[in-house]
């Protein structure tokens, strides 16, 4: 079967679906597209308003939809109209369980084929495709889009796609931290990007530099879409995933390109102020710094000499003599992380005090215009 004699239906005409439909049309496939919401922009392929019409003559039905719910809904609508020979190819990013259920329900006609890459990769035909399912016309369509990597089953293909996207989420997170540190050090955005382009983040910097320096252009991959993928991964694994919360709470907003999630400014100095007061309390032994850092109702809790202890602020302050420790010159403290969630924040700190190392975990709250520590728990090793 040649491209010119193959009918392909593309269901889902977002950025990726539209790019896929154009690519196939440009390479000789007869393409009919359909979208759940009306598409007003003229396309280089046929667009219809009825999904049943879109699939009626299709040899390959390609799904480019947002999530598993959308895939199930659309397949339920079109299944009665699918030709006996038609293969359903799903490039959507969905949960492994959803992919497995679709594969069972559609049996041999289903190819789960999530892709690595965005619109530019589609246009170049350089997607990396994780395909699980029987060979046939579906693979001819996929070959026009990029390099096909065969995977054992649909659930594995879906899981591997989510794992691949953690590297993208991680790159966004690492880039954000690098740019924040550069800003605090007084380096310009251009200087920071110049050097980051030479290292491990060079790929994302090269692809996104215009957005990172203030250009306005349509998103290739949105913050919301990547956040959705990280939520799917966390739900599938039942294991915490930091990137899921970071992306979901990004001030860039869900419709922004992922590059804008890396342009979040550093943590405001007001959040760091009580942590810095806490450090001064340890450095000087002056409990007034702890009273400035903590809320009056705060507690400090942990295990001391094998026994759980819980001190209120007065009891904690009473442990300090008003002067620095004899070995203060050798002691070190480091704020490890600060995560702000509206009017609350969490933070961690490591303190090296002589032979002991302390890991402190803080809960902070904003009271009016200032931040204070509500509670602290610690581990001593």
Q: Do domains 3-151 and 159-262 have the same CATH topology?
A: no
Q: Give the pLDDT of residue 84.
A: 77
In this structure, the number of other CB atoms found within 10 A of the CB of residue 203 comes to 11
Looking at residue 42, its pLDDT comes to: 72
Q: What is the C-alpha separation between 88 and 90, in angstroms, rounded? A: 6
**pLDDT tens digit string along 269-291?**
999 999 999 999 999 999 999 99
What is the mean pLDDT of the segment spanning 327-351?
Answer: 96
What's the rounded mean pLDDT across residues 51-62? Answer: 94
Least confident residue range of 133-142, 186-195, 247-256, 273-282: 133-142
Average pLDDT over residues 112-124: 95
Q: Regarding predicted confidence, which is higher, 337 or 138? A: 337
* pTM score, whole prediction: 0.87
Q: What share of the chain is helix, strand, coil (3-state, %, to 5)?
A: 45, 25, 30
Beta bridge partners of 182: none
Q: Are 298 and 277 in contact (CB under 8 A)?
A: no
Average pLDDT, the chain: 94
Average pLDDT over residues 175-186: 97
Q: Among the CATH numbers 3.10.450.50, 3.30.160.100, 3.40.50.620, 3.40.50.150, which is that of 269-380? A: 3.10.450.50
Q: Provide mean pLDDT across the span 288-315.
A: 96
Give exposure, 214-227, as e/b (b: 16+ Cβ within 10 Å): eeeeebbbbbbbbb
User: Residue 63: its pLDDT value, please?
Assistant: 97
Q: Which CATH number does the domain 159-262 belong to among 1.10.1060.10, 3.30.70.20, 1.10.1040.10, 3.90.380.10?
A: 1.10.1040.10
Residues whose CB falls within 8 Å of the CB of residue 228, separated by 6 or more in sequence, listed in order = 66, 67, 93
pLDDT at 163 over 90: yes
- pLDDT, one tens digit per residue, over 189-226 is 999 999 999 999 999 999 999 999 999 988 989 999 99
> Locate tokens 């990280």: which residue?
230
Domain segments of the chain as ranges: 3-151, 159-262, 269-380
- Which homologous superfamily is 3-151 in? NAD(P)-binding Rossmann-like Domain (3.40.50.720)
Largest CA distance in the chain: 87
């Amino acid at each position: 079967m040649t491209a010119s004699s193959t009918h392909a239906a593309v269901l889902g005409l977002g950025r990726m679906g539209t790019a896929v439909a154009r690519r196939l049309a440009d390479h000789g496939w007869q393409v009919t597209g359909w979208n759940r919401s009306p598409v007003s922009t003229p396309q280089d392929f046929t667009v219809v308003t009825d999904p049943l019409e879109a699939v009626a003559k299709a040899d390959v039905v390609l799904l480019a939809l947002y999530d598993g719910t959308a895939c199930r809904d659309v397949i339920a609508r079109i299944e009665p109209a699918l030709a006996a020979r038609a293969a359903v190819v799903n490039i959507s990013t969905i949960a492994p369980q959803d992919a497995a259920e679709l594969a069972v329900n559609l049996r041999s006609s289903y190819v789960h084929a999530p892709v690595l890459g965005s619109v530019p990769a589609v246009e170049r035909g350089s997607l990396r495709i994780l395909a699980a399912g029987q060979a046939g016309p579906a693979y001819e369509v996929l070959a026009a889009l990029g390099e096909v990597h065969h995977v054992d089953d649909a659930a594995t293909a879906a899981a591997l796609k989510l794992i691949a996207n953690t590297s993208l989420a991680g790159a966004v997170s690492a880039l954000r931290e690098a740019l924040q540190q550069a800003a605090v050090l007084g380096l310009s955005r251009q200087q920071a990007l110049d050097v980051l382009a030479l290292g491990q983040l060079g790929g994302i910097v090269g692809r996104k530099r215009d957005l990172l320096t203030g250009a306005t252009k349509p998103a290739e991959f949105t913050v919301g879409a990547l956040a959705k993928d990280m939520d799917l991964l966390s739900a599938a694994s039942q294991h915490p995933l930091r990137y899921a919360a970071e992306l979901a709470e990004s001030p860039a907003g869900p419709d922004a390109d992922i590059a804008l999630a890396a342009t979040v400014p550093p943590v405001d100095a007001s959040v760091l102020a009580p942590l810095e007061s806490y450090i001064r309390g340890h450095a000087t032994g002056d409990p007034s710094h702890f009273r400035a850092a903590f809320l009056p109702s705060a507690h400090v809790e942990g295990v001391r000499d094998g026994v759980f202890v819980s001190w209120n602020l007065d009891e904690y302050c009473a442990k300090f003599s008003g002067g620095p420790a004899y070995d203060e010159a050798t002691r070190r403290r480091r704020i490890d992380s600060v995560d702000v969630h509206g009017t609350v924040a969490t933070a961690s700190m490591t303190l090296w005090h002589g032979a002991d190392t302390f890991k402190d975990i803080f809960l902070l709250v904003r009271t009016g215009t200032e931040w204070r520590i509500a509670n602290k728990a610690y581990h001593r090793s």
